[in-house]
């Protein structure tokens, strides 16, 4: 039987109660104890969920951990107002993500918000000491690199951009040989690499993005540290294999595309699996142990901790019937006659002035469809890396960040793009956009026109649309608490009818665009009040649809409004499937031969870029609140040295982009390797037991596991962005 760590209990699933009755299959209990071993219970959840994404056993254990008493006992031992145990909070957040629960409302706690809240702001010795902190960027109370990496993975899995300092802290743990140490060392500290830490941190950095050099060094380390047996040792001084270390290395290398190395490691694991399906700590161990077995289960399933805890959001299934042509629409938006050298849209042809708001709208559309990631990256790199338009203006000449005229809506819109493509909104275009939103939250109404309409309004955010963008950006960055007043103000702008008004600070009526945007924003919040506001808003939207499937907007029977309505109604796509199908058919009827869209039915005919950006992204039904598009594997196009010329200068087009496969680099061995016997060249024969590695998780279900029905989500959000 498996044992929890060094415990010697005959069955880790047995409760040490009268008669030693089997547990209800919900927790690990060490021999001679009655209290649950929360750490090993989380490990079991990971293993079971890897073997079966809908495992009733995994969900039953997660339900147990999600009871407030167990969450507090494990992650909040210092009490209600104390600092949480970051290691435990990260593990519970990963459990939530692996089993379809909400890490923001797990056991009555916002685990992700607390992780972000307690990141060390400075090094020890700099200013006043901060309890639990040694180095800037540490999650307080972690102490070990695996906990730091798991916290980063948990935030990313929950749709929260981790603080840049927390991610950079991981890169500081890389040793000269390319591996990572298991201790949160400070600069200049002794660094000893190991496969466990290297595999896990590599997964975290790959998922975070922007650390390709560190990832490639770690990749090289893992390849060269593979033993002749194809296993990996638990420490650099060891010459024998460790199942847990091998499993972590296998997870990372498979994620990087080095399948031959990973498969060779699995072959070794299959030869060291006990008849009872478990694994020992080291290759010469004679007893099955829970900890290595759960880690191997992930590797055996050809999965990894990041994949396991990344939300699986399928693109909304388009209702039957007519729909816009996404490929043609993408070609229209990316045509160099419109998208100047693949970087920005102009406010007027040949002017050289970038319309940065429209440019971001175009990027949103490309992110939603996924039809041209190269063009999307060209826009994002231009905005992020200091690109200038034909008049020498950059993105922050539009946001006005750092000035007394900083525009909350523009800042939020830019931050939301950064979040959608995996960039850091706290360091985008050289600015901390999330801090700027917090700084730009009004404390009271001001007399300056347009500056602050009320407490909670963002500065110079004069529409519900702009207010919503700011809130979305803060919530996605894990700053829900900091956004409390902007959220409350946004809710206050909802009309009793269910719709939202258009303008802020001056009289205006309810409208489709604002209502859809506000609904997408509040749907990010799990509380009952927010969800009730969303439901009321969607009912109002459905009631505004015209007979031809369109929706009224400022321009008449508006393409923009119909597309936004599709996004809003897709928050509850099963209920509003008919309305969504009719609106998509309406949008298809307004698409022209060049792929672009009219502004409105009955208006001036001809394609319009602004209407086309909204129509293209909106027809997918993906909410701006959950929009996500990985740019991994897409090489950057060269940026012009100083500025991009206006569209009147077609001769300055950049060279053709080069697309690289994730995990490949110049001169790398790719997936052709795997060292030593059983590891080099073709994968050695593994026999039938390799296929059973993932099934090792099943042995963890012994001792009275019962079937449970998966908890139903609060809303079937098939319209969330992929």
Residue 301's pLDDT is what? 87
pLDDT value at residue 666:
31
The least confident of 2-6, 84-88, 191-195, 355-359 is 2-6
CB 94 within 8 A of CB 154: yes
C-beta of residue 272 within 8 angstroms of C-beta of residue 241: yes
Q: What average pLDDT does the segment 559-581 reach? A: 95
Question: 500-501 and 510-511: which strand pairing?
Answer: antiparallel
Residues 394 and 383: their CA atoms lie apart, in Å, by 7
Choice among 358-367, 407-416, 464-473, 623-632 with the minimum mean pLDDT: 623-632
pLDDT value of position 638: 64
Segment 210-214 mean pLDDT:
85
Question: 304 with 252: CB under 8 angstroms?
Answer: yes
> Cα dihedral sign for 4, 45, 244, 177?
negative
Which pLDDT does position 7 carry in this prediction? 36
| Range with the poorest average pLDDT among 93-97, 131-135, 413-417 | 131-135
Supply the pLDDT for residue 667. 32
Please, which pLDDT band fits residue 646 given cuts at 50, 70 and 90? very low
CA dihedral 270, 272, 276, 277 (to 10 degrees): -40
Identify the band that residue 660 occupies on the pLDDT scale cut at 50, 70 and 90: very low
Contact (Cβ atoms closer than 8 angstroms) between residue 569 and residue 540:
no
CB atoms within 10 A of CB 713: 10
Predicted pLDDT at 547: 95
pLDDT of residue 420: 93
> Given pLDDT bands bounded at 50, 70 and 90, which one contains residue 633?
confident
pLDDT band at 413 (very low <50, low <70, confident <90, very high): very high
Give Cα 169 to chain centroid, integer Å: 19
Residue 314 pLDDT level (bands cut at 50, 70, 90): low
Region of 703 please: left (phi>0), alpha (psi -120 to 50) or beta: left
Asked whether the predicted pLDDT for residue 642 surpasses 90, the reply is: no
- The average confidence (pLDDT) of the chain is 83
With 70 as the cut, is the pLDDT of residue 4 above it? no
Q: Quick one: three-class SS letters along 376-435?
A: HHHHHHHHHCCCCCCCCCCCHHHHCCCCCCCCHHHHHHHHHHHHHCCCCHHHECCECHHH
In whole angstroms, give the CA distance from residue 239 to residue 544.
Answer: 70
The predicted pLDDT at position 97 comes to 95
pLDDT of 135 higher than 90: no
Residues in the chain: 722
- Report, as an integer, the average pLDDT of 252-274: 89
Predicted confidence at residue 609, as pLDDT, reads: 96
What was the pLDDT predicted at 134? 81
* C-alpha dist (Å) from residue 263 to 124, 289, 684: 44, 23, 9
Helices 243-255 and 212-224 pack at an angle, to 10 degrees, of 130
Output the pLDDT for position 313.
57
Q: Which two tokens stand for residue 256?
A: 């990087």
Q: What mean pLDDT comes out for the span 314-325?
A: 66
pLDDT of residue 639: 56
| φ, ψ at 446 (rounded to 5°) | -120, 160
Q: What is the pLDDT of residue 190?
A: 87
Q: What is the pLDDT of residue 521?
A: 97
Cα distance from N-terminal residue to C-terminal residue, the chain = 41
Res 185: pLDDT = 85
What are residue 591's phi and psi, to 5 degrees?
A: -85, 135
Say what the pTM is: 0.62
Residue 397 predicted with pLDDT over 50: yes
Judge contact between 494 and 540, C-beta under 8 A: no
Residue 5 has pLDDT above 70, yes or no: no
CA neighbours closer than 13 Å in the CB half-sphere of residue 241: 28
Torsion, Cα 483 484 487 488, to 10 degrees, reads: -150
Calculate mean pLDDT across residues 665-684: 33
Strand partners, 608: 597
Distance CA 88, CA 78 (A): 12
Task: Give per-residue pLDDT as tens, 222-240.
Answer: 999 999 999 999 998 889 9
Q: Each residue of 484-502: pLDDT tens digit?
A: 999 999 999 999 999 999 9
Instruction: Calculate mean pLDDT across residues 339-357.
Output: 93
Total Cβ atoms within 10 A of residue 144: 14
Helix (H/G/I), strand (E/B), else coil: 178: coil
Mean pLDDT (whole number) for 185-191: 82
d(CA 285, CA 568): 56
């Amino acid at each position: 039987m498996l044992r929890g760590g060094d415990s010697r209990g005959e069955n880790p699933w047995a409760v040490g109660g009268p008669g030693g009755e089997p547990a209800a299959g919900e927790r690990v209990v060490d021999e001679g104890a009655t209290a649950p071993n929360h750490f090993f219970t989380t490990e079991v959840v990971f293993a079971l969920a890897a073997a079966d994404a809908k495992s009733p056993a995994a969900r039953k254990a997660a339900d147990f951990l999600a009871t407030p008493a167990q969450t507090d006992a494990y992650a909040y031992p210092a009490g209600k107002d104390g600092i949480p145990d970051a290691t435990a909070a990260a593990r519970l957040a990963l459990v939530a993500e692996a089993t379809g629960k909400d890490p923001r409302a797990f056991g009555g706690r916002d685990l992700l918000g607390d992780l972000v809240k307690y990141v060390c702001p400075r090094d020890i010795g700099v200013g006043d000491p901060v309890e639990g902190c040694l180095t800037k960027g540490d999650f307080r109370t972690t102490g070990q690199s695996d906990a730091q990496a798991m916290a980063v993975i948990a935030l990313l899995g929950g749709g929260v951009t981790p603080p840049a300092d927390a991610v950079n802290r991981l890169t500081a743990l890389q040793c000269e040989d390319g591996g990572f140490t298991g201790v949160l060392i400070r600069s200049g500290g002794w660094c000893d690499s190991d496969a466990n830490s290297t595999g896990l941190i590599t997964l975290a950095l790959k998922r975070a993005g922007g650390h390709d050099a560190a990832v490639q060094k770690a990749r090289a380390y893992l390849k060269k540290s593979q033993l002749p047996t194809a296993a990996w040792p638990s420490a650099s001084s060891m010459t024998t294999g460790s199942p847990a270390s091998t499993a972590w290395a296998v997870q990372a290398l498979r994620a990087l595309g080095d399948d031959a190395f990973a498969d060779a490691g699995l072959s070794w694991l299959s030869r060291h699996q006990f008849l009872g399906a478990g694994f020992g700590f080291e290759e010469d161990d004679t007893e099955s142990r829970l900890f290595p077995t759960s880690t191997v289960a992930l590797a055996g399933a050809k999965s990894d901790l990041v994949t396991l805890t990344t939300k699986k959001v399928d693109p909304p299934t388009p209702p039957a019937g007519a729909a816009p042509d996404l490929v043609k629409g993408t070609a229209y938006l990316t045509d160099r006659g419109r998208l100047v050298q693949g970087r920005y849209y102009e406010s007027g042809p040949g002017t050289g002035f970038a319309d940065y708001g429209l440019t971001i709208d175009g990027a949103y559309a490309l992110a939603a469809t996924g039809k041209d990631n190269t063009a999307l990256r060209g826009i994002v790199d231009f905005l992020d890396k200091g690109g200038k338009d034909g008049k020498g203006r950059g993105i922050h000449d539009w946001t006005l960040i750092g000035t007394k005229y900083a525009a909350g809506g523009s800042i939020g819109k830019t931050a939301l793009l950064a979040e959608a493509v995996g960039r850091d909104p706290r360091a985008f275009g050289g600015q901390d956009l999330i801090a700027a939103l917090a700084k730009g939250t009004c404390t009271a109404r001001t007399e300056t026109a347009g500056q602050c309409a009320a407490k909670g309004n963002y500065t110079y955010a004069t529409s519900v649309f702009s207010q919503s963008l700011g809130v979305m950006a803060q919530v996605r960055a894990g700053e829900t608490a900091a956004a409390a007043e902007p959220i409350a103000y946004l809710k206050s702008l909802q009309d009793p009818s269910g719709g939202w008004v258009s303008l802020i600070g001056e009289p205006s009526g309810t409208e489709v665009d604002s209502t859809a945007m506000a609904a997408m924003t509040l749907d990010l919040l799990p509380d009952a009040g927010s969800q009730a506001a969303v439901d009321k808003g969607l009912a109002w939207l459905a009631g505004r649809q015209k007979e031809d499937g369109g929706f009224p907007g400022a321009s008449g029977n508006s393409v923009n409004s119909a597309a936004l309505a599709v996004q809003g109604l897709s928050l509850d796509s099963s209920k509003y499937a008919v309305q969504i199908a009719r609106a998509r058919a309406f949008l298809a009827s307004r698409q022209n031969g060049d792929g672009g869209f009219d502004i409105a039915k009955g208006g001036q005919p001809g394609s319009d870029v602004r209407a086309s950006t909204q129509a293209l992204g909106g027809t997918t039904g993906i909410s701006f609140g959950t929009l996500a598009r990985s740019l991994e594997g897409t090489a950057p196009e060269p940026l012009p040295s100083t500025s991009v010329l206006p569209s009147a200068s077609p001769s300055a087009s950049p060279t053709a982009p080069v697309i690289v496969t994730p995990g490949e680099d110049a001169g790398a061995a790719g997936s052709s390797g795997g060292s030593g016997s059983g590891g080099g060249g073709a994968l050695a024969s593994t026999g039938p037991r390799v296929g059973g590695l993932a099934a090792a998780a099943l042995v963890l279900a012994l001792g009275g596991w019962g079937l449970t029905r998966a908890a139903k989500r609060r809303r079937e959000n098939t319209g969330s962005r992929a």
